């Protein structure tokens, strides 16, 4: 059981992580354009994401970026500052669904 979990984790670390590393003084918008825009083209000009109310939080967004998901790569090389400013930017540029 533990070995199966390691194996799956190993696959995911190879397959679902992105080694993009922002330069230390990069603006959040620049990081988004470089690392996220290719998959996340905004559906309209006013908001990046339409978030469910329970997902409209810095902790949800930063966990998504850090850990990825089945379909989204994780970004392990972001510093804490990168993660904080990018999550803030994403939240500010998104709308919350009713």
Q: Name the site residues for ligand HEC (rule: CB under 6 A).
A: 35-36, 38-40, 49, 51, 55, 61, 64-65, 69, 71-73, 75, 86, 90
Residue closer to ligand HEC, measured from CB, 72 or 84: 72
Least distance (Å) between residue 4 CB and ligand HEC: 22
State the Cα–Cα distance between residues 92 and 74, nearest whole angstrom: 21
| Chain-centroid distance, C-alpha 4 | 27
Residue number, 9 or 97, with CB nearest to ligand HEC: 97
User: How many degrees, rounded to 5, is the angle at CA 32 between CA 66 and CA 22?
Assistant: 70
Paired tokens of 37:
């825009």
Nearest approach in angstroms of CB 53 to ligand HEC is: 11
Nearer to ligand HEC, 10 or 42 (CB): 42
From first CA to last CA, the distance across the chain in angstroms is 41
Please, what is the minimum distance in Å from the beta carbon of residue 11 to ligand HEC?
16
CA distance 10 to 41: 29
């Amino acid at each position: 059981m533990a070995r199966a979990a390691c194996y799956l984790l190993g696959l995911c670390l190879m397959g679902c992580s992105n080694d993009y590393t922002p330069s230390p003084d990069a603006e959040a918008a620049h990081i988004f354009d470089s690392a996220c825009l290719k998959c996340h083209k905004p559906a309209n000009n006013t908001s990046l994401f339409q978030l469910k109310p329970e997902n409209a939080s810095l902790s949800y967004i930063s966990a998504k970026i850090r850990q990825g998901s089945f379909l989204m790569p994780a970004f392990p090389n972001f510093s804490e500052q990168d993660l904080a400013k990018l999550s803030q930017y994403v939240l500010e540029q998104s709308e919350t669904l009713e």
